[in-house]
Structure 1
Amino acid sequence: MTLLAVWNGRRTFRGHKHWVRFVCTAVLFCVGYGLTVFSSGFKTLLLGWEMMGIASFWLIIFHREPALNSPSYGISAKAFFIYRLGDVGLLLAMWASHHLWRENTTLISFMLLATASMQSSQLPFSSWLPQALENSTTASAILLATLTVQMGVFLLLRSYPFWEHQLSVRVLVALLGLAAAGMAASFARVQSSVKRRVAYITMAHAGLIFIEVAAGFKNLALIHIAANAFLSAYRLLVPPLLIDAASADQGIPNTKTWEDRLPKKLKYTLYMLDMKEWGLYSRLSRYLRQ
């Protein structure tokens, strides 16, 4: 995926001053990703996590010069805030693993779950990924949608021995995944932007992977992570017109969906709520302003 992003970035930034900076950022991201994947403990994992987080933040803003009142600045602030909040959760989990291991392992599990939810853009921290993808280049979006988002699920897989025997944590992971998958799937159906649609589809699949991890299907979750990454990269690279044309050539009949059987007022209400993403962006923006 890193090579694919660099190849796409070379086509976009060839001869541009940002090309060298993009390559260095992609290399830093790849090194941090490798440290996180092959880490043997929390300390090495945190080092790789920080490198990957800084590189992801640079991928969102590296080709822009945002002003304080511009939309790009607000989007970068949201992503940076959620990344830092996730780091706090990981640091608290490290501290609790050293001092409260025998007393309360549930606290460690909850901190790890909160960090994974922020990284994978799950509820209630699901507002940063669609805007980040929409306001970044395709090369940056490939790394964000295929690798950055999947690291939250990978953190749950790496920490599975901490909480596999805790029924409350497993139920909470499954419920968060179910809620995020349902809401993200409904949000994706009303999006006019390809990148926002890809972001919500990625979030929906991440929610399903949360359910698979909670159920103990770790191998299935790994396969789903790889399949979700390739699907997101395909949707970002293939022009939307070609996707629409391929769907039209299949001759899919125009059948009624379950929304068509709902009362008209309820259907319009759900449509407007999905268009506004149930106010998730506005709430987070209000908290950041405060």
Structure 2
Amino acid sequence: MSYLLYALLLSPLFALVVGFGLSNENEKGIFYVSFLSAIVNYGVLLIVSFLWFKGGFEPIFIQGPVLFHTGHADFAISFLIDGYSLSYLFTATFLTAIIIVFSKNYIHREKGYKRFFNNIKFFYLGLVLVLMSGNLETLFLGWEILGVTSFFLIGFYRDRYLPVKNALKVVSLYRVADISILLGIWLSHHYFGYSINFNDIEGIYSEHHHLLSDDIYFYLIPGLFLLAAMVKSAQFPFSSWLPRAMEGPTTSSSIFYGSLSAHIGVFLLIRIAPLWEGNYWFHFIIGGVGLMTVIVSSSIAKVQSSIKTQIAYSSLAQIGLMFIEVSFGLYGLAILHFVGNAMLRTHQLLISPSILSYKIHDQFFNFKKPQKQGYKTFYEKLKLTVYVLSIKEFNLDTFMYNYLWNPLKKMGKLIDRLSFRTTMTTFGTVFLIGLYGVYFKDLVPDLIKHYVSEMFALFSLILILKAFVNRESAIIAWSYLIISQLLLSLCFGYNEVFDFSQVHIFLSGILVSGIVGLLILNNLKNKGQTLDLNDFHGLVHDYPKHAFIFVIACLGISGFPITPTFIGEDLMLGHVHENQFILLAFLTVNLILDGLVVYRIYARLFLGLHKSDLHDFAYRSS
């Protein structure tokens, strides 16, 4: 059985590697490799389903390799197959195969034909990892892949302003979900004392009675996972990102944001259900979130002029109903609802261009002027109020900007007073002094010994905020980012006595990626390119290899699972104590912002409209 589950992962991975070796002009080869991968996975799923049926519908748990072992927890890969995961896997594989076939002609002769199919396969790989995950660590691995591929697919038309801008908006919120999952894993490790396998999660609170009397963690552990589910499934108040995620090709919009990716939050809640089932108030919270989403999304969907926006909010209303079904414990109904909604939204989005063409044609012959809306009675005024709010999408996008990102920008501008040279000299000296103190802790005065970790976390946060608001130069912002991560390693080093090899694991990917990124930026500067971050430069047209290497460096420095830093983040958080709330707050903001900084630098330099008139260009409104 283990070989079959590994085959489900290796098939899209092998197709992805082969796809990288094919040229963009070899459309037939790119298509057949992608389609064959989906067919192989569908066949493997049929065999796995037969074995699951033959085993009496008992969950199949496979313990995979242990990537890192510590005294209190293991970072291991494990898989779990049950009715819920199989339902999602069959639906995902079936729809992926349909989209691959549809995209063969839909993306025909696009410059990014190969890039599109590679992103499809990479997304599917991450989705399979999430759906087959047997523990939180494996789920987080796939979760990160989903976020990165979403950024690339939304910004597929990378020479246009709006797709790139909206890709940054979506990935900004995704980063909040990523850190919520990471903090949820951290709390779980602290309070259960080991890595949680989904196979053993039933009745976990009965083994840990102390959690039932601790209200903070009885709500906080499932609350962090709920926040991640709300963001990933675009539930209220995070709903505004979903229609903006449909800036990519219609085929990717239909499979990811109409049918599969947006439903992952429902799967997450079902998978961790034993963590919150005993908390009746939490049922009301989940149901309330779903109900608010249903009301708001239904109102917005009825008045939007864009067909993609209508479908997006209609899908959100159905996902809100799934949250309500999950809150009632009707997991089977929620899964059935998911399958039906995923099929419907995929169908609607794929036929939307032809339906839209028909409707425009029909309007010339059967147009009926709408009746004038009254506004005298209270009911009529209320209808108009709801109408205007729905047109403006209840100002959810403005709300996110004003209350989530704008305060961070204001904080960054307040501290953005020091020059680059002064900042690097000051914080570089602080790092060297701190590094000496880590290895000779006896020299640190007892008066400040208990506050050193918070101090270095604050220094790291100051630098990441400066990088977040910096517009002067990509090299300056990237340098701030590297020093910030170095100071963060000192924060962990002072917090507890442990094996320094864990810090080295954390820093290994950061240092290598940071140096590679600096080399790329300096090379572009030497070629005469401007590296300010006030506008999009579209350098991917002239420097595609630079763009590819730099995006790998961006993923490495932000903790994406291509370097040991991915494991290092989890290991470092394991040494933060549950009562260190100030330190945890600094770390949370730091981890969120470091991802946003690297995505912004990459997007500003390599994506968007090229400055030269020699290249094709799209208007800013497109």
2:223 is aligned to 110
Which one-letter code corresponds to 1:146 in the other structure? S
- Greater alpha carbon shift after TM alignment, 72-81 vs 113-122: 72-81
Q: Does 1:288 align with 2:392?
A: no
**Structure-1 separation of matches of 2:189 and 2:261:** 27
1:256 is aligned to none
**Structure-2 separation of matches of 1:113 and 1:60:** 24
1:9 is aligned to 103
**Structure-2 separation of matches of 1:170 and 1:189:** 29
Structure richer in helix, relative to its length: 1
Match of 1:136 among 245, 248, 255: 248
1:158 is aligned to 271
- Greater alpha carbon shift after TM alignment, 280-289 vs 95-104: 280-289
Provide Cα deviations, 1:175-215, integer angstroms capped at 9, x if missing partner.
Answer: 00000011100100001111000100110000000000010
Provide Cα deviations, 1:40-63, integer angstroms capped at 9, x if missing partner.
Answer: 001111111111211122110122
Paired-residue identity, %:
34
- Greater alpha carbon shift after TM alignment, 8-17 vs 55-64: 8-17
Q: How does 1:1-290 map to 2 (within 5 A)?
A: 1-66=95-160, 70-101=161-192, 102=208, 103=211, 104-133=217-246, 135-142=247-254, 143-238=256-351, 239-241=354-356, 263-286=379-402, 287-288=404-405, 290=409
Higher relative contact order (CA 8 A, sep 6+): 1
- Point out where structure 2 has 5 or more consecutive residues left out of the alignment: 1-94, 193-207, 212-216, 361-373, 410-622
- Greater alpha carbon shift after TM alignment, 183-192 vs 54-63: 54-63
**Structure-2 separation of matches of 1:41 and 1:243:** 48
- Greater alpha carbon shift after TM alignment, 2-11 vs 222-231: 2-11
Which one-letter code corresponds to 2:275 in the other structure? F
TM-score normalised by structure 1 residue count? 0.89
Q: Is the 8 A contact 2:154 2:164 kept in 1?
A: no
- Greater alpha carbon shift after TM alignment, 137-146 vs 78-87: 137-146
**Structure-2 separation of matches of 1:264 and 1:99:** 55
Q: Is the 8 A contact 2:222 2:275 kept in 1?
A: yes
Which one-letter code corresponds to 2:138 in the other structure? T
RMSD: 2.3
| Partner secondary structure for residue 263 of structure 1 | helix
Q: Is the 8 A contact 1:194 1:240 kept in 2?
A: no
**Structure-1 separation of matches of 2:235 and 2:392:** 17
| Partner secondary structure for residue 122 of structure 1 | coil
Shift of 1:108: 1.1
Shift of 1:105: 3.6
Aligned length: 275
Q: Is the 8 A contact 1:8 1:138 kept in 2?
A: no
Shift of 1:270: 1.2
**Structure-2 separation of matches of 1:17 and 1:65:** 11
**Structure-2 separation of matches of 1:285 and 1:136:** 22
Q: Is the 8 A contact 1:176 1:207 kept in 2?
A: yes
**Structure-2 separation of matches of 1:198 and 1:16:** 25
**Structure-2 separation of matches of 1:201 and 1:54:** 25
Which one-letter code corresponds to 2:303 in the other structure? V
Which one-letter code corresponds to 2:315 in the other structure? T
Shift of 1:7: 2.2
| Partner secondary structure for residue 109 of structure 2 | coil
State the structure with more CA Rg: 2
Which one-letter code corresponds to 1:285 in the other structure? Y
**Structure-2 separation of matches of 1:241 and 1:63:** 22
Shift of 1:262: 6.4
**Structure-2 separation of matches of 1:100 and 1:6:** 44
- Greater alpha carbon shift after TM alignment, 118-127 vs 233-242: 233-242
Q: Is the 8 A contact 2:163 2:248 kept in 1?
A: no
**Structure-1 separation of matches of 2:169 and 2:154:** 11
**Structure-1 separation of matches of 2:169 and 2:356:** 31
**Structure-1 separation of matches of 2:385 and 2:144:** 41
Provide Cα deviations, 1:90-120, integer angstroms capped at 9, x if missing partner.
Answer: 0011001110245434211000100000000
**Structure-2 separation of matches of 1:86 and 1:21:** 26
**Structure-1 separation of matches of 2:320 and 2:349:** 20
Q: Is the 8 A contact 1:78 1:285 kept in 2?
A: no
